[in-house]
Amino acid sequence: MICGLLGEKLEHSYSPAIHKILGYYTYSLFEKSPEELEDFLKNGTFTGINVTIPYKKAVIPYCSALSPVAQKLGAVNILVRQPDGSLIGHNSDYFGFETMLDNSGLQVGKKKVLVLGSGGAANTAIAVLEEKGAQVVTISRTGSNHYGNLSFHSDAAVIVNATPVGMFPNAGEAPLSLSHFPRLEGVLDAIYNPARTKLLLDAEARGIVAMNGLWMLVAQAKEASEWFSGKKIPNKTIEDIYHSLQRQMENIILIGMPGCGKSAVGKLVSQITGKKFVDTDAVIAERAGCTIPEIFANQGEAAFRKLESQVLSDFGKKSGLVIATGGGCVTQPENYPLLHQNGRLFLIERRLDKLATQGRPLSENGKLEEMYRIRKPLYDAFADYQIENQGTVAKAAEKILRIWEEI
């Protein structure tokens, strides 16, 4: 069975990884230009395909029939080839968003929900939300409700981001500030790369529900797979694939005092998980063309911190890495979102008398205790998990992996 994904640019797609788990069929990426579309749809030898940007509407004229959901949304993200060669169009994004909303635990009935954007994902979210009885307001750059009059909607309970703002590689951008919405209960973001957009990081910081679009992506893929193969797949599979992808895509980030074992533990975790290892201090030295003590001596700590934040920005937005950070990265609060957007932070704790100090500019001269007193609250504020590393490297790595298996 030949299945796959049709779109114009597909380099960052997670779909092949998802369908590899879901079904016994080949799942290929079909990158087609608008000029190639007609020939592909009429003569392509696929059994069933997903359709993504910008072809969800463009494929409709080539369908001999549409499912009721595809008809309602006016968009198709699944095409299935019939024995007579004709195409049936369906839309599984509806099921995808509904599953995401249900998993968020948010109750939207009779509440005001702002949907940002007016494209395909927004239409899908609106259809699901209205079905659940929400009072939906679309915020569009060109509509009557726009980003300049958000104060009319300060009573919003939920925000759904259905714009591409904040998506890789433009992480760090947000379509609006959550400060306008004192009664907000949660934010759902259709984006899944990075795992936490700025909007979701802001929601997390406020302690409200923050969910990315990975549930939606996996759930729509499950329904697509059922259409391709004709076989029912249990909903529990969505949860299993979601967690497996999270483990695969998110970065494991190690923070802690200089010499606490971040590099040694990180290398072992990298070996076991198959995730690529990055030592940010090594990258900084390579980019600067000199050692870290030389950067401190010749350019000062402020210049080093600037270089460090740039490196954290570059690697923090990537996926599937083990990143060992420099001990002082927590002194710059702006480094936290750079690291957490796509990763979970493990604080490696080691007794001060066991810390390695050689070649570490800020650890020499017996100032470790004072440094730890100042930094400990900063480490705690950055850390998602704390790991004691008083024994072997293998033991510390094992503790991290045990936690990782549970996410």
Is 222 tagged catalytic?
A: no
| Cα 154 to Cα 405: distance, rounded to the nearest angstrom | 40
Q: Give the sign of the dihedral formed by CA 400, CA 402, CA 404, CA 406.
A: negative
Residue 107 contacts ligand NAP per CB under 6 A = no
CA-angle at 310, arms to 305 and 315, nearest 5°: 125
- Contact call for residues 138 and 126 (beta carbons, < 8 A): yes
State in angstroms the smallest separation of the CB of 57 from ligand NAP. Answer: 9
Q: Which two tokens stand for residue 352?
A: 């001060």
Residue 128 contacts ligand NAP per CB under 6 A = no
The one segment of 159-167, 228-236, 291-299, 391-399 that binds ligand NAP by CB under 6 A: 159-167
Phi, psi of 344 (to 5 degrees): -115, 140
Residue 175 contacts ligand NAP per CB under 6 A = yes
Torsion of CA 374, 380, 382, 385, to 10 degrees: 150
The one segment of 4-12, 62-70, 120-128, 394-402 that binds ligand NAP by CB under 6 A: 120-128
Find the catalytic residue in 20, 32, 42, 56: 56
| Cα 347 to Cα 215: distance, rounded to the nearest angstrom | 28
Which of residues 138 and 389 has its CB atom nearest to ligand NAP in the complex?
138
Near ligand NAP by CB under 6 A: residue from 59, 66, 122, 295: 122
Q: Which two tokens stand for residue 146?
A: 């726009």
- Identify the H or E element spanning 314: helix 301-316
Residues 74-103 that bind ligand NAP (CB under 6 A): 93, 96
The one segment of 8-16, 17-25, 63-71, 119-127 that binds ligand NAP by CB under 6 A: 119-127
Contacts of 340 (CB under 8 A, 6+ apart): 196, 201, 382, 384
- Contact call for residues 284 and 308 (beta carbons, < 8 A): yes
Residue 217 contacts ligand NAP per CB under 6 A = yes
| Cα 82 to Cα 381: distance, rounded to the nearest angstrom | 56
Which of residues 39 and 240 has its CB atom nearest to ligand NAP in the complex?
240
Name the β-bridge partners of 50. 5, 78
Residue 53 contacts ligand NAP per CB under 6 A = yes
The one segment of 137-145, 176-184, 333-341, 349-357 that binds ligand NAP by CB under 6 A: 137-145
Residue 18 contacts ligand NAP per CB under 6 A = no
Residue 163 contacts ligand NAP per CB under 6 A = yes
What x/- string results for residues 189 through 208 when contact with ligand NAP is judged by CB under 6 A? -xxx----------------
Residues in contact with ligand NAP by CB under 6 A are 53, 93, 96, 117-122, 140-142, 162-165, 167, 175, 190-192, 213, 216-217, 220
Residues designated catalytic: 56
